[in-house]
Amino acid sequence: MDVRTQEFAAAANRELKNERSRNFLGRLAPYFARSCAGAMKTFPDPAAAVACGRAIRADAVARLPDLLEQFAKNALACGAKIIWAKTAAQANEFILALAKEKGVRYVAKGKSMVTEEMGLNEYLKTNGIDAFETDLGEFIIQLLRRPPFHIVGPAINLPVEEIRDLFLAHGVIDEPTTDRIALGGAARRYLRDKFRRLDMAVTGVNMAAADTGAIFNVENEGNIRLCKSSPAIQVSVMSLEKVVPTMNDALHLLRLLCRHCTGQKLSSYVSIDCGPKKPGDADGPEELYILILDNGRSEIYRDVKAREALRCIRCGACLSVCPVYGKIGGYPYGWVYSGPMGQVLNPLLLGREQTRDLYFATTLCGACRDVCPAGVDHPRLFLHYREQQASSVRAQGLFFKAWGRLVKSGGRWHFAVRLLRPLINRFAANGVIRKMPGLMNGWFASRNLPALAHKTFHKQWKKQERQRDAGRR
Ligand code: SF4
């Protein structure tokens, strides 16, 4: 998926004028508030349940390296194969190589943000393997080649007419219809046909329990369950922060996740898997690969202030209460993760430079922090990113202070110019200056610095004056 975070401001301005999206977004916050509050009431003590969830995530992130080791050991003992991938590229390469080795022509995908982060579908496609999203919303945005509008409902904002035209264009339906049930049924038949001849599936992981090596998936459509039970080869991709200490912890977080996600006490399907199919099992994969992806998370972990972002369990609640998301929707965020969750994660995963607008596009009202069942303090993180940004401004301040002292003294200035002139020419010639993005706000990233004359104007002027004087005498 293309990263378009740098286009945030322009895209947000465009979306502000999108009447349809705004009407939909206007109904989202009250709907979410009602459904989440209703579901939370089913806990005997909702506040204690949230506090417990936050404590579990804080503990899990604090002990992440140990828990990962424990999880990998137990999952291996269950018969799963553990693959560690440092980067998205490594993870993609592994899945492609596995598909080719097994002679697979296409893979089915269960909804998974992390595989979107990796750009897996595009990578497989360019290398000759088709990947079919099997979640209805994901299937629609895959055909549209758009990022998700909302983490829970990736295509929830689309008018039925657009889906009709899309399905017609891709042969999902033969006759035009705007009957939602007929469209859903057509997508179901189209995808079911893929499952019939399926050899390999790729899904995400909602939670992983270190004490047993079990992986958890929640869903409402049953497609992940089909992905995990039908093909012989199953790859479960998990970003490394998904691990929690125990089964009980995972189950408690699932209860919170579903309530904050769709307002359900529990989603329609919950799959808990320990290793591949065992003798006597009715279904399940013959080979289960658990691919644990880092992709910059170890680096995030090293920043003790920023590592709190790893607590996120991707429930999407912060999107639904955010006054900024509530006006512009998910597209302007320009990548997989949108809303406050994206504003927190994208700068860490993509770098502060190209995501600067994201952590400034906030009212700091704290609604995201208050609703978050994982205990992510978004406003504090936004301020942390801004502080880091300001440190580079402070560095610029020091530079200009030194510069001021230099230009105030004629002697110092001439000495520095004599010293730096050949150096600047050399850096310009070998492209070092072009690669310094912070220099003059990236002015030279797309412009060449012409070579400086061998002698300064001042020197040339003096020389000419001397020659003129000599000529007069
Ligand atoms: S940051 Fe919190 S509220 Fe937002 S998606 Fe993650 S867990 Fe949910």
Average pLDDT over residues 227-243: 95
What pairs with residue 243 in β-bridges? Answer: 208
Which tokens hold the place of 309? 């972002």
User: How far apart are the two ends of the chain, measured CA to CA in Å?
Assistant: 75
Outline which parts of the chain fall under CATH 3.40.50.10420. Answer: 57-301
DSSP 210: T
Cβ partners under 8 Å of residue 210, min gap 6: 67, 68, 70, 71, 74, 243, 244, 245, 246
Q: Are 309 and 350 in contact (CB under 8 A)?
A: no
Out of 368, 372, 378, 380, give the residue to mutate to test ligand 1, the one with the largest number of ligand atoms within 8 Å of its CB: 372
Q: Which of 56-65, 125-134, 150-159 has the lowest mean pLDDT?
A: 150-159
Distance from Cα 314 to the centre of ligand 1, integer Å: 5
Q: Are 77 and 169 in contact (CB under 8 A)?
A: no
pLDDT for the residue 419: 80
What does the pLDDT look like over 292-309, one tens digit per residue?
A: 999 999 999 999 999 999
Question: Which atom number of ligand 1 is nearest to the Cα of residue 378?
Answer: 1
Rounded CA-CA distance 236/117 in Å is 14
Q: Atom 8 in ligand 1: which residue has the minimum CA distance?
A: 315
If 0-12 CB within 10 Å is exposed, 13-18 middle and 19+ buried, where does residue 19 land? exposed
Rounded CA-CA distance 13/364 in Å is 20
Q: Atom 2 in ligand 1: which residue has the minimum CA distance?
A: 372
More confident residue, 460 or 333: 333
CB atoms within 10 A of CB 106: 17
Average pLDDT over residues 52-76: 98
Out of 114, 241, 256, 315, give the residue to mutate to test ligand 1, the one with the largest number of ligand atoms within 8 Å of its CB: 315
CB atoms within 10 A of CB 274: 17
Give the architecture-level CATH label for domain 57-301.
3-Layer(aba) Sandwich (3.40)
What pairs with residue 126 in β-bridges? Answer: none
Which one, of 199, 39, 14, 31, lies nearest residue 108 by Cα? 199
Q: What is the pTM of this model?
A: 0.81
Distance from Cα 341 to the centre of ligand 1, integer Å: 6
Distance from Cα 243 to the centre of ligand 1, integer Å: 16
3-state secondary structure of 217: strand
Out of 358, 376, 378, give the residue to mutate to test ligand 1, the one with the largest number of ligand atoms within 8 Å of its CB: 376
- Beta strand pairing call for 214-219 and 269-273: antiparallel
Question: Which atom number of ligand 1 is nearest to the Cα of residue 344?
Answer: 1
Distance from Cα 13 to the centre of ligand 1, integer Å: 25
3-state secondary structure of 238: strand
Which residues contact ligand 1 via a Cβ below 6 A? 312-318, 340-341, 371-374, 376
Distance from Cα 133 to the centre of ligand 1, integer Å: 24
Q: What are phi and psi of 133, to 5 degrees?
A: -70, 135
Question: Which atom number of ligand 1 is nearest to the Cα of residue 371?
Answer: 3
Q: Which of 1-5, 125-129, 224-228, 374-378 has the lowest mean pLDDT?
A: 1-5
Distance from Cα 236 to the centre of ligand 1, integer Å: 22
pLDDT for the residue 407: 80
Rounded CA-CA distance 99/280 in Å is 27
Q: Are 349 and 1 in contact (CB under 8 A)?
A: no
Q: What value does the mean pLDDT of the chain take?
A: 91
pLDDT for the residue 24: 87
Distance from Cα 306 to the centre of ligand 1, integer Å: 15
Is residue 30 within a helix (H) or strand (E), and if so which, with residue range?
A: helix 19-40
Q: Atom 7 in ligand 1: which residue has the minimum CA distance?
A: 312
Which one, of 202, 344, 352, lies nearest residue 287 by Cα? 202
Decide if pLDDT at 367 tops 70: yes
Q: Atom 6 in ligand 1: which residue has the minimum CA distance?
A: 312
